[in-house]
């Protein structure tokens, strides 16, 4: 039975217009699947249209015009369509696009998914005309134009209803499912003379949808300017402001330093909320006011209130207060009040008394400290994580979005590419996410490329000059924005701000009290620091993992400004010396405490002072001519940084500084032990970056110096370091001699040295004699580090202990231990320990038959090793990922990974390079490249390591099965093929009976893999 044909309604008709947001972009980017997406869209709308009595007037592209006899059913169709579109079966390629991707609210509920359709509803009596040829009815007249403009004012996923239409629907609210309804105010719609009041209606489950301002100018009371350009980010701050005022707050202060976007956010809030304020929203700019009268006249002009009337002698502030009281619910935005805060009690305080319904939103660099004031601290826009380079992640970042948007204002064709994305990320990071600084940088793209802007940021005040024409003079340059705050400071505050520029990466109140220097009799440091914080020139934050502790800092632009003021005062050298003295002493103490019961806390605190220690080094190296004192400060800072750089990377961050300092130490007399310490640090740095020869040279020279001065503890450490280098060079005999020499030296009460030596003995034994010989030493080292509280070395040796456990065949236990190591490393920020544990975890997940998981972990480890500059970790992770890809059957990808791994490891770890060469030769055979495979196995056979290392020897022999099987496949049923298969079986038998010291996860995984392949080949031969 066919459904009855719906007739075109007459008389009073509800018209609905719909349109798909961003359809042009979607056609450009998803041409192959956009047609299918439109089919889905059309089916959803037409199905519901038929159920609810809608008459399809016409369609054009992706737009519908639909008529309903009932306005309630028209609104119902819109609401049900919005919900149904979420559940539709959209093509996956379309769902990956920004205009169609899935979005959820904070509680996890679905907000958007698929094509986003704007809908507009209006009610009236249009003229209906039937087409003589088709018989279809179309509608004409003013109400049709209004309905179309109502729809076009909205955004994808938004339902707009004219207020006149909604007045006929409101009584049916319950039957519509209790939708979320919000009055938006009056709007000037294109071509429509009178303003049209609009209402937003959304299905109750989608009430959390939020949209930009409507695409039509507002008709409202107030004086807010129109907004230029897209408003980027700040959704959380807007929500907080909304919550403040709906919660009954009468005074809210937006607090932040110059350039943070306070004025723009206040204006944005006023524009979004204008319809909620019967008395209007009024913006009063106070930057030129200096007295109470100035403030009152500025506000009076905006509100249209005459402050001088004959026969009336009341104060201007009182007159304004009474005028505000007569306007009912009114929102007043007072912009830039930091320089007239002292007058706020006499003005704003009085207005609050006289106009209880008035609300005030203030922007300031300093809190007003008035009763019941609610302060909203404005933070910078979100910036990308360090080393984040994924284009999709960067495009979602607020600071990057702002740079792109403002760049398009001067270079309309600008599109962020994968190549430029990391440069833009670095720019916005260096500008601290401060909107003014980002906008000024983007303005320079009319002359400079992104890379040129990045290079010039060291001279930011020259670069970020001008570029905005919509602000006051102080907002047109970054210098001017900060200079405004500087000029409002008292002399003691200026001195303190200038001196605070010596700190990097933040500081504590205790460090300020130790480093800053003021004349006797003046205010104390606590008082001045508090004042600078209240004026938004210092920021306060709680470091990760140190709950309950507060740290202070400066945005880099403010710090550079303050540094220039410090140079003018001639106090830089004196402050640098005090700063270095304080942080070197602090670092020495923290390094010792890292080996104690509160080691984890000391680890975190030392990590926080990296920037201060680097600054101490840089300040010392910049002094000319160099002196013993300044050079020893530089060397001391570099030695103090070693534990942090070792654990958090990148390992080469100090190398250029070490080279410079040690070069100077050849001509300037310094403490010989300090120079030897620096040589040892540079040797370890070279080792981390894979320069084994350079590492051997520096560590050997440090060994000589320590021996000459009988510095037994330092000598013992450097002997172990040399053992590690020899081990990576595959010279196990030299490594054994060095570790024995280290173990023979006493550790005068230093259990850390004992643990370091014994642990590395265990790692060496793992390569020489297998897991059984290694485990007691590794367990002993792990227990010692754990008892001492040195979390970084606990993580490292937990990973090595797990490796030995796994090599014994206890894969499940190894995985559990490695997951524990990763959790501990992530908790304290030990990036190198985390990377090592992740590599090992990938190995044993592969051994457990979880190759897909192993590949993911190893891919992450490759990226971590690359970011940290740890060539060994990167190379081994690449090689292990190659093994995982073999298990997954992706042989060509495995070949690429193994080749890259060998290229990295040849000068970093010869043993691993040889191991992965065997795997590569096996893969080449499986791919049919027997010539390359033969060359690889032949080259391996000539290496002395293969004769001396039972693990390598047994593994290489087993991997040769791949070539045997390929030979057998090429000669099926022949004598040659039969001999190749017998040879493969013989190799498998040998591997199953390999000596205990040859056992490895490599060997077991390869044995499982080839067992299956040989069985398949035997089955095929039997059939033939």
Q: Cis check for the bond before 683: say yes or no (omega within 30 of 0).
A: no
Report pLDDT digits (tens) over 181-222.
887 767 889 998 887 878 899 999 999 998 988 898 876 677
- Predicted pLDDT at 409: 83
β-bridge pairing 13-20 and 63-68: antiparallel
Contact 286, 262 (CB under 8 A): no
Given a cut of 70, is residue 176 above it in pLDDT? yes
Query: How far from the centroid of its chain's Cα atoms is residue 534's Cα?
Result: 29
Given a cut of 90, is residue 1012 above it in pLDDT? no
Report pLDDT digits (tens) over 241-275.
999 999 999 999 999 988 888 999 999 999 888 87
Binned at pLDDT 50, 70 and 90, residue 996 comes out as: confident
- Predicted pLDDT at 819: 93
Q: For 131-245, list the strands marked E by DSSP.
A: 137-140, 159-162, 180-187, 196-202, 218-219
Token pair 């440091």: residue:
525
Averaged pLDDT, 353-360 = 92
Backbone angles phi and psi of 308, in degrees to 5:
-125, 110
Given a cut of 70, is residue 467 above it in pLDDT? no
Long-range contacts of 679-682 (CB under 8 A, 24+ apart): 679/705, 680/714, 680/717, 680/718, 680/721, 681/638, 681/639, 681/642, 681/654, 682/655, 682/658
Whether pTM exceeds 0.85: no
By CB neighbour count within 10 A (0-12 exposed, 13-18 middle, 19+ buried), where does 7 fall? exposed
- Pull the structure tokens for residue 843: 């190995």
User: Residues of the chain with pLDDT > 70: what percent?
Assistant: 96
Binned at pLDDT 50, 70 and 90, residue 622 comes out as: very high
Report pLDDT digits (tens) over 633-684.
999 999 999 999 988 888 889 999 999 999 999 999 999 999 999 999 999 9
d(CA 568, CA 570) in angstroms, rounded, equals 6
Q: H helices within 810-870, ranges in order?
A: 811-828, 831-847, 851-868
Report pLDDT digits (tens) over 709-719.
999 999 999 99
CB neighbour list of residue 667: distance below 8 Å, 6 or more residues apart: none
Report pLDDT digits (tens) over 482-507.
888 888 899 999 999 999 999 999 99
Q: What is the 3-state secondary structure (H, E, C) of 969-1017?
A: HHCCCCHHHHHHHHHHHHHHHHHHCCCHHHCCHHHHHHHHHHHHHHHHH
If phi > 0 it is left, if psi is from -120 to 50 it is alpha, else beta; for residue 411 that is beta
Q: Which helix (H) or strand (E) holds 412?
A: none
d(CA 826, CA 823) in angstroms, rounded, equals 5
Report pLDDT digits (tens) over 553-593.
998 888 988 999 999 999 899 999 999 999 999 999 888 88
- Predicted pLDDT at 312: 54
- Predicted pLDDT at 1: 37
Contact 466, 479 (CB under 8 A): no
Binned at pLDDT 50, 70 and 90, residue 470 comes out as: very low
Report pLDDT digits (tens) over 138-149.
999 999 999 999
Binned at pLDDT 50, 70 and 90, residue 325 comes out as: confident
- Pull the structure tokens for residue 416: 């962020």
Query: How far from the centroid of its chain's Cα atoms is residue 414's Cα?
Result: 23
Contact 817, 826 (CB under 8 A): no
Contact 619, 515 (CB under 8 A): no
Contact 1017, 965 (CB under 8 A): yes
- Predicted pLDDT at 1023: 43
Q: Is 389 helix (H, G, I), strand (E, B) or coil?
A: coil
Binned at pLDDT 50, 70 and 90, residue 466 comes out as: low
Report pLDDT digits (tens) over 415-458.
888 889 999 999 889 888 888 888 888 888 888 888 888 888 87
N- to C-terminal Cα distance for the chain?
A: 64
Given a cut of 80, is residue 42 above it in pLDDT? yes
């Amino acid at each position: 039975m066919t459904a009855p044909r719906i007739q075109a309604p007459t008389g009073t008709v509800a018209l609905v217009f719909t349109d798909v947001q961003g359809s042009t972009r979607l056609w450009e980017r998803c041409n192959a699947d956009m047609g299918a997406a439109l089919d889905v869209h059309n089916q959803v709308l037409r199905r519901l249209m038929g159920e609810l009595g809608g008459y399809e007037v016409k369609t054009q592209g992706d737009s519908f015009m639909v008529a309903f006899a009932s306005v309630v059913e028209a609104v119902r169709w819109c609401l049900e369509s919005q919900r149904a579109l979420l559940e539709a079966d959209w093509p996956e390629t379309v769902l990956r696009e920004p205009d169609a991707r899935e979005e959820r609210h904070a509680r996890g509920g679905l907000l958007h998914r698929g094509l986003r359709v704007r809908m507009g509803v209006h009610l009236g009596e249009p003229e209906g005309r039937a087409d003589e040829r088709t018989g279809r009815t179309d509608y004409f007249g003013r109400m049709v134009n209004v309905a179309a403009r109502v729809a076009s004012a909205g955004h994808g996923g938004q339902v707009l209803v004219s207020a006149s239409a909604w007045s006929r629907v409101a009584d049916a609210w319950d039957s519509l499912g209790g939708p979320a309804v919000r009055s938006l105010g009056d709007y000037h719609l294109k071509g429509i003379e009178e303003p049209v009041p609009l209402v937003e209606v959304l299905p109750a489950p989608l009430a959390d949808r939020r949209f930009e301002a409507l695409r039509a100018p507002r008709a409202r009371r107030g004086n807010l300017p129109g907004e230029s350009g897209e408003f980027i980010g700040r959704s959380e701050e807007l929500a907080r402001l909304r919550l403040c005022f709906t919660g009954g707050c009468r005074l809210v202060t937006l607090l932040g330093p110059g350039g943070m976007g306070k004025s723009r956010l206040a204006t944005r809030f006023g524009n979004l909320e204008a319809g909620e304020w019967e008395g209007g929203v009024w913006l009063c700019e106070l930057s030129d006011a200096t007295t109470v009268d100035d403030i009152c006249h500025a506000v009076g002009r905006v509100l249209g209130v005459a402050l001088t009337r004959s026969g009336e002698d009341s104060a201007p502030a009182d007159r304004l207060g009474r005028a505000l009281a007569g306007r009912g619910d009114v929102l007043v935005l007072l912009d830039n009040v930091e320089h007239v805060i002292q007058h706020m009690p006499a003005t704003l305080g009085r207005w609050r008394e006289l106009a209880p319904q008035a609300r005030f939103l203030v922007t300031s660099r300093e809190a007003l400290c008035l009763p019941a004031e609610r302060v909203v601290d404005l933070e910078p826009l979100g910036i990308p994580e360090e080393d984040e380079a994924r284009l999709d992640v960067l495009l979602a970042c607020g600071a990057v979005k702002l740079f792109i948007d403002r760049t398009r204002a001067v270079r309309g064709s600008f599109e962020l590419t994968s190549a430029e994305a990391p440069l833009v990320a670095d720019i916005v990071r260096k500008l601290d996410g401060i909107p003014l600084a980002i906008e000024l940088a983007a303005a320079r793209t009319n002359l400079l490329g992104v890379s040129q802007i990045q290079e010039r940021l060291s001279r930011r005040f020259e670069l970020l000059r001008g570029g905005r024409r919509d602000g006051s003079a102080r907002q047109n340059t970054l210098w001017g924005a900060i200079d405004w705050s500087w000029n409002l400071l008292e002399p003691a505050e200026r001195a303190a701000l200038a001196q605070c520029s010596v700190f990097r990466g933040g500081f504590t109140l205790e460090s300020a009290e130790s480093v800053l220097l003021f004349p006797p009799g003046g205010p104390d440091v606590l008082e001045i620091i508090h004042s600078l914080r209240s004026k938004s020139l210092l920021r306060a934050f709680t470091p990760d993992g140190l709950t309950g502790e507060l740290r202070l800092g400066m945005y880099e632009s403010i710090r550079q400004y303050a540094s220039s003021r410090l140079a003018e005062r001639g106090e830089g050298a004196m402050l640098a010396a005090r700063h270095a003295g304080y942080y070197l002493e602090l670092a020495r103490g923290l390094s010792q405490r890292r080996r104690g019961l509160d080691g984890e806390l000391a680890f975190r605190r030392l990590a926080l002072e990296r920037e201060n220690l680097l600054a101490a080094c840089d300040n010392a190296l910049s002094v000319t001519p160099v002196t013993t004192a300044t050079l020893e400060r530089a060397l001391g800072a570099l030695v103090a940084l070693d534990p942090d750089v070792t654990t958090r990377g990148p390992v080469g961050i100090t190398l250029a500084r070490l080279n410079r300092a040690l070069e100077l130490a050849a001509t300037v007399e310094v403490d010989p032990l300090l120079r030897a310490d620096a040589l040892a640090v540079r040797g370890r740095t070279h080792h981390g970056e894979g320069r084994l020869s350079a590492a051997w040279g520096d560590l050997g020279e440090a060994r000589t110096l320590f021996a000459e001065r009988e510095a037994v503890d330092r000598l013992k450490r450097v002997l172990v370091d040399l053992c590690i280098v020899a081990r990576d060079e595959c010279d196990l005999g030299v490594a054994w001699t060095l570790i024995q020499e280290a173990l023979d030296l006493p550790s005068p009460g230093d259990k850390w040295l004992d643990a370091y030596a014994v642990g590395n003995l265990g790692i060496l034994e793992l390569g020489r004699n297998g897991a059984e010989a290694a485990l007691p030493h590794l367990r002993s080292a792990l227990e010692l580090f754990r008892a001492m509280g040195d979390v970084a070395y606990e993580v490292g040796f937990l990973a090595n202990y797990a490796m030995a456990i796994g090599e014994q065949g206890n894969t499940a236990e190894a995985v559990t231990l490695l997951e524990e190591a990763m959790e501990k490393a992530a908790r304290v920020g030990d990036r190198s320990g985390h990377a090592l544990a992740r590599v090992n975890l990938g190995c044993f997940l592969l051994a457990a038959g979880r190759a897909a998981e192993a590949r993911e972990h190893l891919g992450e480890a490759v990226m971590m090793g690359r970011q940290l500059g740890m060539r060994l970790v990167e190379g081994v992770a690449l090689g292990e990922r190659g093994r995982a890809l073999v298990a997954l059957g992706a042989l060509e990808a495995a070949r690429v990974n193994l080749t890259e791994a060998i290229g990295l490891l040849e000068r970093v770890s010869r043993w691993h390079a040889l191991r992965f060469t065997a795997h590569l030769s096996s893969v080449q055979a499986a791919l049919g490249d027997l010539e390359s495979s033969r060359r690889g196995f032949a080259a391996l056979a000539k290496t002395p390591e293969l004769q001396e290392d039972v693990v390598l020897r047994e593994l290489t022999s087993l991997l040769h099965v791949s070539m045997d099987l390929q030979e057998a496949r090429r000669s099926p049923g022949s004598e040659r093929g039969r001999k190749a298969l017998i040879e493969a079986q013989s190799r498998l038998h040998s591997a199953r009976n390999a000596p205990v010291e040859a056992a490895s996860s490599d060997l077991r995984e390869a044995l499982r893999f080839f067992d299956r392949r040989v069985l398949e080949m035997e089955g095929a031969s039997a059939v033939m």
